[in-house]
Structure formats: structure tokens, C-alpha cells
A and B are shown apart, each in its own frame.
Chain A
């Protein structure tokens, strides 16, 4: 296996302070923003996901890596937008109404970005109607719902129902500490991801299943 690129290594090790310089070096060397994402960031997050699955790293380390990745995207996203690069897959994510927790949701969003998905993050406390509206607007293939409070699980149910009632064909994946596979099935979500690592696998599987 090739030696990993220093930027990829910095992402994996979560050395966010080193990231902007390394990104600048790549750009200076003539790499395009989308090439940097694809060849430097995506492999890093793939390794993070893999290590997480193997119990080699846990949530804290994953958060630290995701934060380094965020640093890189801060530089790259405007460039991607300016170059008119359109991601192949669009996904929407948000924390359901009544809940303001977003660290887990942000991590999932970052891991999805790390799998080269175009992520539209609706933020926290998102009412069902806002999800429906965003799905109509952005036409994503997948929508992710997160909640950390047992008390807002009904809001997750309402959101799934609102999306279905609106006749939108988008796949729905749900997650968050109180969510179980059983609950996901019960409310009619397509899929449940217990953690950010499996959220990536799940998204990729759902998107490929569609293709």
C-alpha cells in the first residue's frame, strides 16, 4: 500500500491546525478542489470509518478527525461551489423538531461528506414541514433524521410520516442514541444506523441499491 498523503494522515490523526496549510500545499501543487476531496479526504474518512468498525477508534477520536476534515472543507467548499462542481449524490440531514442536540448529527454529516456525498444540513429543531420543503427543493436521494432525546422520538415519527404523506420517494435513514432498529422499522424509516460509521455504509448501500 502506498504511503498516505500527509493531508490524509493529518485528517486521520485529527491534526486540524496542520490541515489548512496542507490543503494550501495541495492547491499550490495544482490539485483541484474536487481532486483533493476525492483523493485526500475521502480515503482518510474511509480509514476512520474502517477503524471505528474494528473498534480501533471510538467516537471521541472520530469527532476529532471529523473536525480536521471540517477545517479542510472550510477552504475547499467555496472553491467547489465556484467551480460549479455538483456532487453525484445529494443527501439532506437534520435534527428533528424539539431537539437541539447536533454533535452526533454533525458527525454523521461530516462522514457523509467524507464519502463524497453532497450534504445539505438543515440544522437542529427542524419541523416536519421544513424537511418536506427541503426535500422538494433539493431532490435528495436520501434524508437522515437524528435525535438524542427519547421525548422527541415522536417528532421523528411525525417527520417520517410527513415525508411519506407528501408522496416523496426519498430513502429515510434514522439514528441517534435512543433510536433502535425496532423503532426505525415501526415508524417506517428505510434504515437505521447505530453510529456514524454505519451511517456511511448504510447511505452508500441505499444509494447503490437505487442505482
Chain B
């Protein structure tokens, strides 16, 4: 028996195993992750969400310095070993839901057929396009002779266990062993199986692959090639490289039976530390660089990127929404996984509340609420008069909400949705305050960029809304709550995963790659921190219009 006590884990399969002792592991969530059981620590292990709750079924744990005895539900990120105990991990706390992968996209330009790798009929005639997102990765298998997409495969970026956003990964990379482990996670554990899957679906032997094109943000591309991204973690955020490097499969340790280690992977060129190759890809794939009218590209994720084209002049800014639209930090927030509440309709007079879930799972089994539904709530909460411009429940309107839909805890009021776990899912005023910060960062970013260039929102001929979140949100509501301030629905084109589109383009028409490479010199980067009016603008945007 060791002095630190033993901690056992019971899996849903009934299997029980003892957690090994890690001297430097801090929280239970950390210990579990080291043992290969990553929990849904989406708020960054800050104890703000309920993503990593586990059941303590026997013994005790230390939570916040105090001993908690079984039976209890504890947040694994806040719990530490305390003598003996057995825990059970409920399925909802594991990171194993397949994400909704952004495989859909639109290419807005005509393109030629000049493959990046000259196909040899009967020989190497197949290529692959990869988008490495911080959360999800997609691989397309492409016929280099015809340019046709043969198959797709998508999944989680296995680096997620090192942190769910770029900054936490940069931080993790400070340890050389992590840098190597993250490279292995993306190459060996993520791209390799997806490539195998895509090749199989396409019915192409790996011997036929001639090379690939890879898009991703600057941090993801650093981690792919094993470059230290530390300098991207603090001002002035200078990347080690932005240029469109070519690396060989063998150099990356992308080792797949049949795949030649000599085939190249072409990384797309980036624009700046926080305006990466994924955005460069989008600029070319949407065709916005060639628009005759002023146009805007907006990619909403934890980091939002905004790029403006006017008279051929390009300027861009990065803004930091944070994880709220992915459910991070919110009481009942979740990613857009199956069973998440994804749409919400709210009326006050008479009171009415309708919900829709991803995959049409019955509301009773809904596992959480995702960004698009929160956005619905912001817009309809405000238009119905339930929310004030400051994002608080209006006292008189609150009284009109029927009792079962009202929830109050420690002076914090919340709307209770008839869904999910016993007690329902809630949207609280604190959740709203966090959502307002996220939408303000994007809204103020758009407004500041437009203002700097002297363009009004109304003058934009086109607005390309890229990214997975953009595909699932209600545009009217995004406009109404100020996420896309001052825009009209007719201006907006939802273009999906333009990073993937750009990787595909580069693969089938190498001249587009050259165009992407010119962007770094052409795009003027606006550092929002240095724009004097940004703070004021952000504060203005914390209100609901």
C-alpha cells in the first residue's frame, strides 16, 4: 500500500483499474488524462463548467482543500487524491463524441487543372488535401488526373489532450517532450488513420499517392513540422515560419504501409501569427481577393479572424472570442455534438419555448447546449423583451416566465430548458455575460477593421462567413445580437470550411498556391490592441442592440 493512497476508476464497461501515481499530476482530470482517459475539460480545467464531472462512489477526494466523501459528484479538474477512493466516469464526461467535422465548403473561383504533383497515370495519380483545425482535422482524397474528390475522412485533432485551444498547446510545447508528443499526435494518431480511412473509401492503394497539401493555423503548422511555437505565445507573436514549406512524409514520420516516405506535403503559406494559412486559403478559395466590391471574410472560432478587401487592398485582424461559442465555460455548454440543443425558439407573450437538437435526439436526452442555440437565445431573449440590453432578465418579463422554466441559484437567474438531465439544462445570466464577451470581441473586431479602412458595413458587397460555427448559426440572430453588426442577410454567404477548400485548390491548381504566397506582403495587419478605440468599441458591443 503506498502512502498516497489508491485511486480506482470504474469504466462504463464495469472494468476497474487503479490510477498510477504521477508525482507531478495536479488534478484528478490530469491524472486521468495521463492514463489515457481524457475528460471533457472544455473550460480549461478552471472548474467553470460541468464537462469533467465524475462520480465518487467510494472513499474520498480533496476538492478545494476540503475532503469530500462518497457518494458525491465532483469536477475532476478541481479534485485531488485524498487517501482511497473509487470513481466512475459517466459517458458524457469522456471526450469521445465524434465532432461534426466541417467537410462542406464552397469554392468561389474557377480554377485550372495544374496539379501540384504531376500525376503519373497508372502510377502515382492520387493526392490528399488536409485541413488541420485546432479541434478537428479533415482529409480529402483527390484524383490528380481529373481533380475530383474521391473521399473524405474527418475526426478530432488528437492534440486536444494537450489543451483545447492554441495557447494551451503553445504552453504545453514549452516542454520538448510535449512538442514531440504533439507532433506524433497530429501525424501518427490523427492524419495517419484519416489518410488510411480516406484511401480505403476511395479504393486507392497508398502506393498511388503523390503528395498532399496542408492548411492550418500558424500554430498547428508549427506543431505539424515540430517547430517550437513558443514565440507565438507572447507579444510580439512572431512565428518561426510562415512560408509554404514542403516536407517529406518520411521527415514527418508519416509512416503508412505502401506510402512512399519520399512524397511531399506542401504546407500552405500563412499571413501572420494569428492570421494563418487557413485564412490565406480562404481568401483565395472564396475569390474575395478578386471581388470588385468591398468584401469581408469572417471566420468565427475561439480565435476569430477577419479580413477585408476593398479596391484590391487587403487588411486583417485577429480577435479572441474565447471558447463560449463552443460551449466552453458555460454552465451547460457543449460543442455541437450529437444530442446538443442546437436551436431554440423563444416567445414571451404567450410564453413559448421550442428546442431542436443535433441529430434530432429527444430533448429529454439532450446532453448540453451548443453555440448556435445560445446565439438564438441572445437574439430572441432580447427581441422578446426577456433580456435587457445589458443581458439581464428584465424583472417584469421574468415574472411572465412560467415557474417551471425559472431557475434561481444564489441570486443568479437562469432560464430552464425542458431538456437533458434532471433539473433541466439552464442558461444563466452569468452564461449570458460570457457570451456577450465572445460576441463583443468578434463584433468589435469587425467594426474596428471596417472603420480603420473607412468602409461602412452597408457598403460591403459580400461577407463570406467561414468555419463550422458559421454553417450552423441562424444568420438573422447573429446579426440581431451584434455578432455580425450592421450587416444584412443578403450580404452574407456561408462558405464552410474554406481552409480545406484552399488546400484542395492548391493541390489541383498550383497557381493558387502562388497567389496565397503573395498575401503575406499584401495584407496589412491591424493589431486591435494597438487601435486606441478598440477598448471602447468592445465595451459598446458588450450590450445587446
Contacts and interface: CB of A to CB of B under 8 A. Distances in A.
Interface of A: 54-56, 58-61, 63-64, 67, 97-103, 106, 124-125, 149-152, 155, 178, 180
12 contacts: A54-B411, A60-B436, A60-B437, A60-B539, A61-B390, A63-B539, A63-B542, A64-B539, A67-B539, A125-B235, A150-B171, A152-B233
Interface string B504-545: 000000000000000000000001011000011011001100
B233 A55 contact: no
Interface in B411-469: 411-412, 429-430, 433, 436-437
A99 B235 contact: yes
B167 interface: yes
Contacts of B170: 151
A67 B433 CA distance: 18
Contacts of B485: none
A67 B533 CA distance: 13
A207 to B, nearest CB: 27
A116 B536 CA distance: 24
B234 A149 contact: yes
B234 A60 contact: no
Nearest to A154: B174
B235 A103 contact: no
Interface in B360-397: 390-391
A101 B543 contact: no
A100 B539 contact: no
Contacts of B234: 97-99, 149, 151-152, 155
A150 B235 contact: no
Contacts of A97: 234-235
A124 B532 CA distance: 13
A194 to B, nearest CB: 11
Interface in B271-290: none
B364 to A, nearest CB: 30
Given A64-B539, A100-B235, A124 B529 contact: yes
Interface of B: 44, 46, 167-168, 170-171, 230, 233-235, 390-391, 410-412, 429-430, 433, 436-437, 527, 529-530, 535-536, 538-539, 542-543
A159 to B, nearest CB: 13
B235 A98 contact: yes
A141 B439 CA distance: 38
B436 A151 contact: no
Given A59-B437, A60-B433, 16 more contacts: A58-B391, A60-B436, A60-B437, A67-B539, A97-B235, A98-B235, A100-B530, A101-B529, A102-B529, A103-B535, A103-B539, A124-B529, A150-B168, A151-B171, A151-B233, A180-B46
Nearest to A101: B529
Contact of B542 (A64, A151, A155): A64
A60 B390 contact: yes
B538 A149 contact: no
B233 A149 contact: yes
Contacts of A98: 233-235
Contacts of B542: 60, 63-64
A54 B413 CA distance: 12
A42 to B, nearest CB: 22
B429 A58 contact: yes
Contacts of B543: 60, 64
A152 B539 CA distance: 24
Contacts of A149: 167, 233-234
Residue with the highest number of chain A CB atoms closer than 10 Å, among B235, B430, B527: B235
A151 B535 contact: no
A64 B536 CA distance: 9
Contacts of B235: 97-100, 125
Contacts of B233: 98, 149, 151-152
Contacts of B410: 55
A106 B390 contact: no
Contacts of A103: 535, 538-539
Given A149-B234, A151-B233, A59 B539 contact: no
Nearest to B433: A58
Contacts of A100: 235, 527, 529-530
B188 to A, nearest CB: 26
Contacts of A152: 233-234
A65 B539 CA distance: 11
Nearest to A152: B234
B168 A55 contact: no
Contacts of B539: 60, 63-64, 67, 103
* 5 nearest A-B residue pairs (beta carbon): A98-B234, A151-B233, A60-B542, A100-B529, A58-B433
A60 B391 contact: yes
B110 to A, nearest CB: 41
Contacts of B535: 102-103, 106
A150 B430 contact: no
A39 to B, nearest CB: 26
Contacts of B167: 149-151
B343 to A, nearest CB: 26
Given A60-B390, A64-B542, A55 B411 contact: yes
Residue with the highest number of chain B CB atoms closer than 10 Å, among A59, A99, A150: A150
A54 B412 CA distance: 9
A106 B539 CA distance: 12
A61 B410 CA distance: 19
B435 to A, nearest CB: 11
Nearest to B163: A150
Contact of B430 (A54, A58, A101): A58
B112 to A, nearest CB: 42
A77 to B, nearest CB: 18
